[in-house]
Structure 1
Amino acid sequence: MEKILIKNALLSPSGKEGTADILIYEGKIGKIAPQVDSPHDCSVIDADGLTVIPGLVDVHVHLREPGFSYKETIAAGTAAAAAGGFTTVCPMPNLNPAPDSPENLERQLEIIRRDAKIETIPYATITRSRLGAELVDYEALAPFVAGFSDDGSGVQDEEVMRKAMRQIAKTGKILAAHCEVNSLLRGGYIHDGEYARAHGHRGICSESEWGEIERDIRLAGETGCRLHICHISTAESVDLIRRAKERGVRVTCETAPHYLAFCDEDMREEGRFKMNPPIRSRRDMEALREGAADGTIDVIATDHAPHSAEEKSKGLEKSAMGVVGLETSLAAVYTHMVRPGHISFPRMLEMMALEPRKLFGFKGGLVPGNRADLAIVDFDRVVKVDSTSFLSKGKSTPFDGTTLFGKVMMTIAGGKTVYKL
């Protein structure tokens, strides 16, 4: 295994935290100190002017395999993740076959073992085939998964969700809920706001999200299940979760970079602005930023959801829901959240690296003895996003053509160099 010495690395872009040398051997961080002498047979990386950060963790990605490899593969998706500074990702179970049994899960795990460039820990489903009715064998699946989710579909039946929470609570795993009230969707496909009304589009109301969040928080309080709410996008969602945490409910949540960077005033008549939940109002965006700053929102996750170029080229109404994010996430959050002062640089690392590890029990981090998962980043580098250069098979992102600060120069996962610019 590689023996690597990183020299002169900044511990924050400002340089206020000083510099450090980091020695990596046997897949782990051996030493972090102001100066480390180079041992024999060691690759030396001069990181002068660059910042070293813990490897990022994305607890919400769609890698599309098995079943939809024309959209994305585990090989391409994890290569894209490595290019974005990620060392751990958790793929969602909207697959064919869905990982709703040990046998179906093993089909996915075989591909992961063969093709994944970084640590890849999948979710199993909450219900059989994600249909919201029959529960799966949580005890049999729990040792092999990050948690349980029917992402892409909300569990509509309250009693089914209550029973699922009771059983999942016994495993100690997280239930990651896609919160959406189907009866309130009414064929909508973008936010039910000014842009939708001005351009004749059918809107998705905010209550379709927060209505089910309200229910699931209540059920989590009843059952003691560890509830993690996926991709929140509304001000009401932030408020509900904030108040639930104050009451002691075991609830955490995530939002995505595009909800922090854009509002419906930024919309275009292009499929790259279409995802579920949708980009919402300026009021919602500002509430999400506040929730990220005050700790209500625990995690930033990409909801990386690739589709083919054809599926995303049909305008807002007919394009598939979903955008990619693994290769832009770090720079997007740094540009739109850290540089303007909405959150601090350490808070960004908490939300993108430290807190997801803590919540899901993953190893790693910039501590001697831990698995060597880290990225080396040039936060002064200005990059114009060009989706044609993405390693992901998906190219559709609202950040395409925008200017961001920050470029990952190298990613090391488990002591192995998995990406180098």
Structure 2
Amino acid sequence: MLLKNVRPVSRDHDGKETLRIRIEDGMITALGKDLKAQKGEEVHDFGGAYISPGWMDMHVHLREPGFEHKETVETGCRAAAFGGFTAVACMPNTKPPTHTRDVVEFIRKKAEKLPVDVHPIGCVTKDRKGESIAEMADMAEGGAVAFSDDGDPVVDSQVMRVALEYSSMLGKPIINHEEDLKLSRPGHMNEGKVSTRLGLDGTPGIAEEVMIARDILLAEYTGGHVHVAHISTRKAVDLVRDAKKKGIKVTTEVCTHHFDLTDEEIEKTNFNTNFKMHPPLRTQDDVDAMIEGLVDGTIDVICTDHAPHAIEEKEVEFIYAPNGILGLGTAWPVTNMCLYQTKKLDLQQLMDKLVYNPRTILNLEHPEIAEGKKANLTVFNTDEEWTYDLKNVRSKSKNSPYLDKKLKGRALAIYNNGQLVINELK
């Protein structure tokens, strides 16, 4: 296979040079400006689009096993490929939870022939109940890349301490859903002016910040690695920034919707449940803080928290709707519009957030655009305008706040595991 007219963007390429890339048996065998198509070779001309090492989303929900009516490993990977991702790490709030090696291996088996690599995240505690540590070492041997009770925080500080000590021996992070439940429940959106006007119970930012502060202290005490999931408030970013300056092992991620949308969307859309997620959409000041954290390196990773729900689950009154939205299919255009088009980050800096940092945190090998390396690639542009409508939702569910929105920038294709997936709009 020969990929023509692509501009490589990576830590070694700045996207200014147009090259051709030859792939044979899933490996990159040649890069050059004047490579000639060989007899019988499949040729794809991408017309000057960018090409990078394959992107990774380290926070998705594939729902399988147990909630296949929302999403499956296969349909989730289909959505990931459409979004430009060649790898995902999936959260363990399945049924049964991913708290034993057999469930980890089940998920990996489901994904083994797909063009998207799936890396299961195991539970911190048995049944995600927060009471006793799950079989971490066994899950790690089965392929778990990190541990989390995502959807629920590890509330018990002693359990979190033991988890950090144990996971540090395995060289894997604890990814905590940062929420003090006593402060946050039964909140349905951000606590503030908008929730007051709408008469909805709110979740204050302090519920997130208190738990992050505790985890930072525990990480400092144990020497373990805490990864703060889906950060969303200015004070939370400040806490992580200060901890990093002290050399504490803390990393963090931000979802695309948290550096784009605010709680005002709920009022503007008359309680559209596709704007309900957890942590909730915050204020414009918090959005600005997410971007500042991305720019100065406090926030390591851009993710989606892709959380599919069936139509009948979301089409209810706002207070009864589950938290969560789709994210894989719109991650790149939102990132492009909020960060690249506004000149906040250049493409190489964005690749750190999408390619390298998630894999570094999870101790995974970095893909490279170089001869002799496995072909793990994402082809994308930054200027194409298109509409994300129901025809172009590749997930099994449809719960996106970006439905029928005009977007800019698109993932055109991925290549991974010997498979080329070209994303054509319908």
Provide the TM-score with structure 1 as the length reference: 0.95
Task: Tell me which amino acid in the other structure corresponds to 2:373.
Answer: N
- Among 139, 142, 148, the alignment partner of 2:140 is 142
State the shift of 1:39 in Å.
3.5
Q: What is the aligned partner in structure 1 of residue 116 from structure 2?
A: 118
State the shift of 1:388 in Å.
4.3
Provide the TM-score with structure 2 as the length reference: 0.94
Task: Tell me which amino acid in the other structure corresponds to 2:149.
Answer: D
Q: What is the aligned partner in structure 1 of residue 304 from structure 2?
A: 302
Partner SS state of residue 21, structure 2: strand
2: CA distance, partners of 1:20 / 1:280: 43
Q: What is the aligned partner in structure 2 of residue 6 from structure 1?
A: 3
Change (3 A) 1:359 1:365: farther
Q: What is the aligned partner in structure 1 of residue 170 from structure 2?
A: 171
Partner SS state of residue 401, structure 2: coil
2: CA distance, partners of 1:367 / 1:212: 42
1: CA distance, partners of 2:265 / 2:97: 35
1:107-130 deviation digits (Å, cap 9, x = unpaired): 33332336x441111011000010
2: CA distance, partners of 1:105 / 1:6: 35
Question: After the TM superposition, which residues 20-39 of structure 1 pair with which residues of structure 2 at under 5 Å, given as runs?
Answer: 20-39=19-38
2: CA distance, partners of 1:158 / 1:394: 36
Partner SS state of residue 304, structure 1: coil
State the shift of 1:40 in Å.
4.1
Q: What is the aligned partner in structure 1 of residue 288 from structure 2?
A: 286
Range 156-165 or range 32-41, more displaced: 32-41
State the shift of 1:194 in Å.
1.6
2: CA distance, partners of 1:28 / 1:406: 27
Across the aligned residues of Structure 1 and Structure 2, the Cα RMSD in angstroms comes to 1.6
Extract unaligned runs of 5+ from structure 2.
none
Q: What is the aligned partner in structure 2 of residue 132 from structure 1?
A: 130
State the shift of 1:9 in Å.
1.0
1: CA distance, partners of 2:330 / 2:275: 15
Partner SS state of residue 121, structure 1: strand
Q: What is the aligned partner in structure 2 of residue 330 from structure 1?
A: 332
Question: After the TM superposition, which residues 35-114 of structure 1 pair with which residues of structure 2 at under 5 Å, given as runs?
Answer: 35-113=34-112
State the shift of 1:368 in Å.
2.8
- 1:391 equivalent to 2:394? Answer yes
1:319-368 deviation digits (Å, cap 9, x = unpaired): 11000011110111001211012222221111011221222232323233
Task: Tell me which amino acid in the other structure corresponds to 2:227.
Answer: H
State the shift of 1:161 in Å.
0.3
Question: After the TM superposition, which residues 232-243 of structure 1 pair with which residues of structure 2 at under 5 Å, given as runs?
Answer: 232-243=231-242
Partner SS state of residue 411, structure 1: strand
Report if the CA contact (8 A) 1:178-1:230 is conserved: yes
Task: Tell me which amino acid in the other structure corresponds to 2:219.
Answer: A
1: CA distance, partners of 2:317 / 2:345: 34
Partner SS state of residue 49, structure 1: strand
Task: Tell me which amino acid in the other structure corresponds to 2:304.
Answer: T
State the shift of 1:271 in Å.
0.6
Range 195-204 or range 134-143, more displaced: 134-143
Partner SS state of residue 296, structure 1: coil
Partner SS state of residue 47, structure 2: coil
Partner SS state of residue 28, structure 2: strand
- Among 272, 275, 279, the alignment partner of 1:273 is 275
State the shift of 1:75 in Å.
0.8
State the shift of 1:16 in Å.
6.3
Partner SS state of residue 147, structure 1: coil
Task: Tell me which amino acid in the other structure corresponds to 2:51.
Answer: V
Task: Tell me which amino acid in the other structure corresponds to 1:302.
Answer: T
Q: What is the aligned partner in structure 2 of residue 411 from structure 1?
A: 414
1:165-216 deviation digits (Å, cap 9, x = unpaired): 1011100012111111111013101001221111111100001111101111
Number of residue-to-residue matches in the alignment? 415
Range 104-113 or range 409-418, more displaced: 104-113
2: CA distance, partners of 1:230 / 1:60: 8
Partner SS state of residue 50, structure 1: strand
2: CA distance, partners of 1:16 / 1:132: 46
2: CA distance, partners of 1:306 / 1:250: 31
Report if the CA contact (8 A) 1:387-1:396 is conserved: no
Q: Deviating runs (4+, > 3 A) in structure 1? A: none
Report if the CA contact (8 A) 2:115-2:419 is conserved: no
Range 316-325 or range 384-393, more displaced: 384-393
1: CA distance, partners of 2:23 / 2:115: 18
Question: After the TM superposition, which residues 168-207 of structure 1 pair with which residues of structure 2 at under 5 Å, given as runs?
Answer: 168-207=167-206
1: CA distance, partners of 2:176 / 2:419: 33
1: CA distance, partners of 2:41 / 2:332: 29
